[in-house]
Structure 1
Amino acid sequence: MAKATGIRSIWHSMPLTRFTTRENYIWLVVSTVCIGAFMAALDASIVNVALPDMSTYFNASASLVSWVLIAYLLTLTTLLTLFGRLADMLGRRPLYTFGFLVFIVGSAACGAAVNLPMLIVSRVFQAAGAAMLQANSVAIITATVPPSVRGRAIGFQGSAQAIGLSLGPAIGGGLIALFGWRAIFYVNVPVGLIGTAMAAMILPKDKLSGKKTTFDWWGTLFMTPFLVLVMMALTEGMSWGWGSPRILGMFAGALFFLLAFIWRELKFRAPLVDMRLFKIPVFSIGNFTGLLSYLAMFGVLFLMPFYFERVLNFDSAVSGLILTAVPLGMTVAAPKAGALADRYGPRLLTTGGMALTGLAIVGLAWTVAIHASLVPMIIELILVGAGLGIFTPPNNSSVMGSLPSSRLGVGGGILNMARSLGMAMGTAISGTIMATFLALNGGVERAGGPKGPWIPATRYALYVLVALSLLASLLSVFRVAAGEKSTTVEKMPLEW
């Protein structure tokens, strides 16, 4: 009892004044948030290169082992909005700090897994911690950083997230080569402990209203199966067949739960997701275009390794190294785009960023078609990343800036959920189009088949990503100034 009291006393003495009184305090907060954003995103993609080793170690099929990845992504997507809402009720600082601890325990359990079921369950636990981190990262920045530099701050957070997602396979490959597959999980433990300490000592205390709140459990029960069914259908559509009864049944079930969720949220006095937020044009447009941006990025990251390995005969290590051009472009562009958005607003940058990405993918498709040298391809990949880096910070900043302070957590959860859906859809849509055109041109998906069919298959799949990128650019033209509608939502009566 005395020990628990001592822990509570230490917690209440945080954050430390030695940090909060510093002139650069807001950037210490941003740095802390970036650690969590990087870790959570990294573990969404780091497992890919370890799946063959896990399949051999556990003597399991590739489709069964793939659930190590699927379980993480499903859990992350379904819990983002839930933890965003809980953060608005209970505080973002405690939930974010606790998220680090859950992530550490889940990572250690993954590394120590003695069988495949234990590993999959541990990944679910790990993803729950990642969801606490991701659902709160943008909200903490929005609540702490003044509007004059908010775009730049969210730019750093967006860069950390994008780098984590894109470098996962490269980092994972290096760790596996040196220490084995368990190292990709154990490496999270020391980094997570540093993040936990920084979160406790640096993140600001939350300003809660003190009003009694009600949690929407029925909304959660309706939303969770909707997202699980959508993600499972998108993930398994290629292997089961998009017209198969199981996939069609999943989409039908997802539609049922979506309609039930919307009905519940419109009727309940304290909903999990305030549906009125979607009446804010910048919020709706920003989330949809954000989904399209990650769809384009993950479509490119999914397609190009096949071209490199099936057509150019590169090994996976070289392919991964070439693809680092995308996060490199994002890393350079994102902070600068955030700073420019603080001065000039988000519309021009979001429109131009996605237009640049679309044009770069056009160039990539042409380079693939004429079988050009590697140099223009690397330049085009850098421009794909630069366009996304120009788009993402102003988009996220405008979306979060349009929300009332009491909705920042759930707004950040929705923003991250849109990103996760974009990741899954980018892989599923690109893979389906590539497989279709591969079959039409007499090719086969397995290694060792003819090279020729891979060129039109890759090219036409890239053209679809071009169209979606340009759609995101066009929609961004209609973006309104952040915050125009937030006061309308704030003043409407609703129990929170």
Structure 2
Amino acid sequence: MKIISTGQDAMAGPMVPTPSVRWALAGLSLSMLLSSLGTSVANVALPTLAEAFTASFQQVQWIVLAYLLAITTVIVSVGRLGDLIGRRRLLLGGILLFTAASVLCGLAPTLWSLIAARAAQGLGAAIMMALTMAFVGETVPKARTGSAMGLLGTMSAVGTALGPSLGGALIAGPGWRAIFLVNAPLGVLALFLAHRHLPVDRQRPRTDRAAFDRVGTLLLALTLAAYALAMTLGHGRFGSLNVGLLVAAAVGVGLFVRTESRAASPLIRLTMFRDPALSVSLAMSTLVSTVMMATLVVGPFYLARALGLHEALVGLVLSVGPLVAALTGVPAGRIADRFGAHRMTVLGLAAMTAGSLILSLTPAGLGIAGHLVPIVVITAGYAVFQTANNTAVMTDVPPDRRGVISGMLNLSRNLGLITGASVMGAVFALAAATNDITTAAPDAVATGMRITFAVAAALIVVALVIAVGGRGLARRNSPAEDPVS
């Protein structure tokens, strides 16, 4: 079904989406909500699942890790596959897979069958994440790209914020199986909206269709899996296994680059990285996501150990950040449409730098307020940055590359989160001068938090330098470019 015209020409004035466009965006938003909810809802259930399956904490962690690994390893590949075979067809398949896998998770009789179902659920989520952003260019006019990206960012933040509270309520009520089964009716609704309102795939002659790069796909998946496992295995200790996996990942990168440079139809065209705008955006996304993971890694320990808060209050305070991001996403998108994505990118990074610096200087004596105020600044800045950065990248992407570019953006974010969990966690433990952060003294935890966010501020400053330097390079390469866009 084709999307009806959305209004006036971009030069003639503001555009008002038609009902068909609104329903299409509703379907895409629900897909983004479900994929982010799948990431956060299972974490709160790990103690319950360990008891239900009589398993160790290390074993039940694979319930989360399987989902994360599936997304990370295939998100670029499924984006490219959507470019080749049709994004609508593949997105419908991804939603169906996610929904069916959610039901299998809820009915799983054993721990390992649950882990396998979570991997399948992660594959469906990867398709949903990659293709929802890619569809923006086909469902909304260029002048409203920022607003649409802001909406998707908001739904992602809502899913992240809703996961712990919804999961806790369902576990306390129907039981742990309900945290997966709840996805079924929502998945069916998303499938209906996508099938009814997304534009049909353009039919191209078979002779015009590029071949799918199977070798490159396999190499990239193995490389990303090795890196993700290197960053997540060991539970805080970086041993010989982690080093071996990192070496394997480095070798994989070399083999992947060599393969792609010789492929007739590569998964990722290496010449894309000559575009300073894309390279800068991916680098900034990775750095910023690394810092955002610090708020999730350090926050719970600081609130519990340094401020002495009860678990319920810790969860409530931690939900403020995603809530702020959810409230900021849509307004940030509209502002990016009006004032330009680059300006809003710099503004978001500046806010994150300020918030990180404040946290690095905040004494524990200021209590919850002293922690929440800078966290609000950081997360609001993150929402502004993410919306503007995604808008800057996706606005002018050629239609036949939207899927793979969207996948690369999502991959840069995931790699940042994975790296941040390991690296920022290690900085925190080192700064607190303890081998076991769960038993560290309150003063040590407070010191660790301040030093960690000093490092975080330095990383965001690097991102700011990249943003300004990349902008200058892009201007030299494209002197006629609009300075506001």
**TM-score, normalised on structure 1?**
0.89
Using the TM superposition, name which of 170-179 and 95-104 deviates more. Answer: 170-179
Whether the 8 Å contact between 1:235 and 1:428 is mirrored in structure 2 is: yes
2:400 maps to which of 380, 397, 406: 406
Q: Which moved more, 1:215-224 or 1:293-302?
A: 293-302
| Aligned pairs (5 A) from 1:89-108 | 89-108=84-103
| SS at 1:478 equivalent | helix
Deviates more, 1:199-208 or 1:80-89: 199-208
Is 1:227 matched up with 2:218?
A: no
CA contact (8 A) 2:276 2:474 kept: no
Q: Secondary structure at the match of 1:66?
A: helix
Q: 1:462 to 1:208 in 2, by over 3 A?
A: farther
Aligned to 2:303: 308
C-alpha distance in 2 between matches for 1:389 and 1:208:
36
Instruction: For residue 442 of structure 2, give the secondary structure of its aligned residue in structure 1.
Output: coil
C-alpha contact 2:6 2:140 (8 A) present in aligned 1: no
How do residues 75-474 of structure 1 correspond to structure 2 at under 5 angstroms?
75-210=70-205, 211-239=208-236, 241-242=237-238, 244-367=239-362, 369-438=363-432, 440=433, 444-447=436-439, 449-474=440-465
Distance 1:266 1:222 in 2: 13
Q: What is the CA distance between 1:312 and its match in structure 2?
A: 2.2
Distance 1:370 1:305, change over 3 A: closer
**1:477 corresponds to which residue?**
468
Contact persistence 1:347–1:479 (CA under 8 A): no
The alpha-carbon deviation at position 330 of structure 1 amounts to 1.6
Task: Note closer, same or farther for the CA distance 1:464–1:483 as it changes in structure 2 (3 Å cut).
Answer: closer
**CA distance 1:172–1:481, shift in 2 (3 Å):** farther
Whole-Å Cα distance in 2 between the matches of residues 160 and 355 of structure 1? 24
Structure 1 86/236 Cα, relative in aligned 2: closer, same or farther at 3 Å? same
CA–CA separation in structure 2 for the residues paired with 1:232 and 1:185: 25
**Distance in 1 between the 2:443 and 2:387 partners?**
39
Aligned residue number for residue 11 of structure 1: none
Q: Give the superposition deviation at 1:482.
A: 13
Distance 1:114 1:324 in 2: 32
Contact 1:357–1:387 (8 Å) recurs in 2: yes
Extract unaligned runs of 5+ from structure 1: 1-13, 488-496
SS in 1 for 2:138: helix
Question: How far apart, in 2, do the equivalents of 1:134 and 1:175 lie?
Answer: 25
Cα distance in structure 2, aligned partners of 1:139 and 1:75 = 19
Aligned-pair distance for 1:408? 0.5
Unaligned runs of 5+ in 2: 8-15, 479-485
Distance 1:486 1:272 in 2: 25
Contact 1:351 1:472 in 2 (8 A): no
**C-alpha RMSD over aligned residues:** 2.4
Q: Distance in 1 between matches of 2:407 and 2:110?
A: 32
* Deviation of the 1:167 alpha carbon: 3.2
Aligned residues: 468
How far apart are residue 473 of structure 1 and its match? 2.1
SS of alignment partner, residue 313 of structure 1 = coil
> In the alignment, is the contact (CA less than 8 A) between 1:402 and 1:485 conserved in 2?
no
Deviations 1:428-462 (A, max 9, x none): 11211112223x2x573234x53221111122112
Shift of 1:208: 4.7
1:51 and 2:46 aligned: yes
Deviations 1:305-334 (A, max 9, x none): 111112222233221211222122222322
Moved more, 26-35 or 189-198: 26-35
Distance 1:92 1:135, change over 3 A: same
Identity level (%): 31
Residues in 2 aligned to 1:305 and 1:339: alpha-carbon distance in whole angstroms: 33
TM-score (norm 2): 0.91
2:290 counterpart letter in structure 1: L
In structure 2, how many angstroms separate the alpha carbons of the residues matched to 1:164 and 1:294?
Answer: 17
